[in-house]
């Protein structure tokens, strides 16, 4: 049972445009959400996070939106740059669940074209 | 700081062989994790540790054992490798604070023939 879902395996956008990556979750106990970026042959690197007490968090070109009622979050990248081309993983955690374990989605491959 | 390092980077095993993957972190983090990544399945948690001397099972623990004898090291063992354990293995660590993120190592690509 996939508790964190990224239904788009891939996304292609033009440089300078907005990239929107989506993520849905089913476990209502999740209260902390993170986005990781992964280049080939490297480990994932943390990008941005949001707790369930917020509906938006912004860091430079990256903004994460959380809609708790819909159990949906999205990552906006604007403007998109060629260096943003990577796999993006959505992850969720229960802050009081013990062990701070993360449940990951299956990832979305973003390609930013010139 | 080297961050999180993993040894080895690549390994090929025959079915039934054993091996140990080593993860080391120099950030004095309490929590450490082992994940596997398979095509189309994201990262799945194998085992984790909330401190030196502790270990716990994750989502897919069967066929693996772990040990955390020292705070900075987290070992993942395969006693009798199977082709289903062909995967990329990632180690991660995290400090003991709320709203912390996990820091990942570069991964170990393991092939079991």
pLDDT at A97: 67
Q: What is the mean pLDDT of residues A18-40?
A: 96
Distance CA B88, CA B92 (A): 13
Do the chains contact at B99 and A32, CB–CB below 8 Å?
yes
Distance CA A23, CA A58 (A): 17
Mean pLDDT value across chain B = 95
Best probe of the B interface among A10, A100, A104, by most B CBs < 10 A, is: A100
Distance, C-alpha A24 to centroid of its chain: 10
Mean pLDDT value across chain A = 95
Q: Does A106 touch chain B (CB under 8 A)?
A: yes
Q: How confident is the model over A82-103, as pLDDT tens digits? A: 999 999 999 999 877 677 889 9
Q: Does B42 touch chain A (CB under 8 A)?
A: yes
Measured CA distances, B29 to A18, A39, B4, B102 (Å): 36, 24, 10, 10
pLDDT band at A12, cuts 50/70/90? very high
Q: What percent of chain A has pLDDT over 70?
A: 99
B48, B58 in Cβ contact below 8 A? yes
Q: How confident is the model over B77-103, as pLDDT tens digits? A: 999 999 999 999 999 999 877 778 999
């Amino acid at each position: 049972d996939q508790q964190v879902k990224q239904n788009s395996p891939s996304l292609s956008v033009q440089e300078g445009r907005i990239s929107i990556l989506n993520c849905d979750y089913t476990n209502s106990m999740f209260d902390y959400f993170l986005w990781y970026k992964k280049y080939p042959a490297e480990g994932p690197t943390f990008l941005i996070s949001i707790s369930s007490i917020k509906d938006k968090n912004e860091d430079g070109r990256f903004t994460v939106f959380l809609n708790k009622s819909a159990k949906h979050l999205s990552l906006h990248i604007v403007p998109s740059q060629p260096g943003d081309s990577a796999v993006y993983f959505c992850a969720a955690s229960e802050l009081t669940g013990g062990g701070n374990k993360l449940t990951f989605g299956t990832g979305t491959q973003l390609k930013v074209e010139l | 700081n080297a961050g999180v390092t993993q040894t080895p980077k690549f390994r090929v095993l025959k079915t039934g062989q054993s091996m140990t993957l080593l993860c080391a972190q120099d950030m004095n983090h309490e929590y450490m994790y082992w994940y596997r990544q398979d095509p189309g399945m994201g990262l799945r948690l194998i085992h984790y540790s909330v401190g030196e001397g502790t270990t716990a099972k994750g989502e897919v623990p069967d066929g693996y054992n772990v040990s955390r004898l020292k705070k900075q090291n987290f070992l993942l063992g395969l006693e009798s490798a199977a082709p289903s354990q062909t995967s990329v293995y990632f180690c991660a660590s995290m400090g003991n604070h709320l709203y912390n993120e996990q820091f990942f190592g570069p991964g170990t690509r393991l092939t079991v023939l």
